[in-house]
Structure 1
Amino acid sequence: MQSEPLVLILASRRRVLTGSSRSLSRAYANGELVRVRAGVYCSKPAWLAVKAWKRYSATVAAVAAMEPAAGFCYLTALRLWRLPCPGVPDHVHMITSSPHKAGKLPSTTRAAKDPKTGFTGLEDVRGYGVARHHWEANIVQVRGFAVTSLVQTVMDCLVRLELPEAVAIADNVLGRRRIEGESLTRVDLEQASAGLASAAKRRRILEVLSLADEAAESVGESRSRALIHVLGYPPPVPQHSFYDHEGFIARTDFFWPEYGVVGEFDGDAKYLDDELLGGRSTREAILAEKKREDRLRALGYTVVRWDWKAVTDPEVLRRKLEGAGLSRRKSPPRGPLPLA
Structure 2
Amino acid sequence: MDDLICELLGDDLFFLRRDALARGLGDKALARLRREGVLHRVRHGAYTRRSHWRSLDRAGRHLLRARCAVRAARADVALSHTSAALAMGCPVWGIALDDVHLLRLDGRGGRREAGVCQHHQSYAQEDLVMRDGLVVTAPARTCLDLTTITGVEPSLVVVDHLLHRGEVSRQDLLRRSRDMPYGPGSLTTGLTLSLADGRSESVGETRLRYLLWRGGLPSPVPQLAVTAGGRVLYRLDLAWPELGVWLEFDGRDKYVSYLRPGESVVDVVLREKRREEDIARRTGWRCIRVTWRDLADPDRVVARIAAALAGGPVAA
TM-score between both structures, scaled by the size of structure 2: 0.77
Task: List aligned pairs for 1:126-205, cutoff 5 A.
Answer: 129-138=115-124, 139-175=128-164, 177-178=165-166, 183-196=167-180, 204-205=188-189
Q: Partners in 2 of 1:198 and 1:45 — Cα distance?
A: 42
- Is residue 2 of structure 2 the alignment partner of residue 19 of structure 1? no
Q: CA deviation at 1:305?
A: 1.0
Aligned to 1:337: none
- Counterpart for residue 269 of structure 2: 286
> Whole-Å Cα distance in 1 between the matches of residues 303 and 264 of structure 2?
31
- Cross-structure match for 1:338: none
Task: State the Cα distance separating 1:289 from its structure 2 match.
Answer: 0.8
Distance 1:206 1:278, change over 3 A: farther
| Structure 1 residue 234: Cα displacement | 0.4
Q: Is the aligned partner of 1:84 residue 2:91?
A: yes
What are the equivalent positions in structure 2 for 1:1-340 lying under 5 Å apart? 7-16=13-22, 18-21=23-26, 23-67=29-73, 69-86=76-93, 87=95, 89-96=97-104, 97-99=107-109, 102-103=111-112, 105-106=113-114, 129-138=115-124, 139-175=128-164, 177-178=165-166, 183-196=167-180, 204-242=188-226, 250-273=234-257, 276-279=258-261, 280-298=263-281, 300-311=284-295, 313-326=297-310
Deviation at 1:237, TM superposition (A): 2.1
3-state DSSP of counterpart to 2:200: coil
Cα distance between partner residues in 2 of 1:37 and 1:155: 28
- Alpha-carbon offset, residue 233 of structure 1: 0.2
CA distance in 2, matches of 1:84, 1:158: 15
Mind listing any 5+ residue stretches in structure 2 that lack a counterpart? 1-10, 312-316
Contact 1:6 1:42 in 2 (8 A): no
Alignment length, in residue pairs?
Answer: 290
Q: How far off its partner does 1:24 sit?
A: 2.5
Residues 121 and 181, structure 2, Cα contact 8 Å, conserved in 1: no
Q: Percent identity?
A: 28
TM superposition shift of 1:76 = 0.9
Paired residue secondary structure (2:242): coil
Q: Give the secondary-structure state (helix, strand or coil) at the position aligned to 2:236.
A: strand
Where does structure 1 lack aligned partners over 5 or more consecutive residues? Answer: 107-128, 328-340
1:102 deviates by 3.0
- The alignment partner of 2:238 has SS state of strand
Distance change in 2, residues 1:243/1:186 (3 Å):
closer
Q: CA deviation at 1:29?
A: 3.9
CA–CA distance in structure 1, aligned partners of residues 171 and 228 of structure 2: 39
Question: 1:53, 1:285 → 2: CA distance?
Answer: 30
Q: Which residue of 2 aligns with 1:116?
A: none
Q: Is the 8 A contact 1:265 1:305 kept in 2?
A: yes
Residues 121-165 of structure 1 show CA distances to partners (whole Å, capped at 9, x for unaligned) of xxxxxxxx2223332244443322232233221111134433233
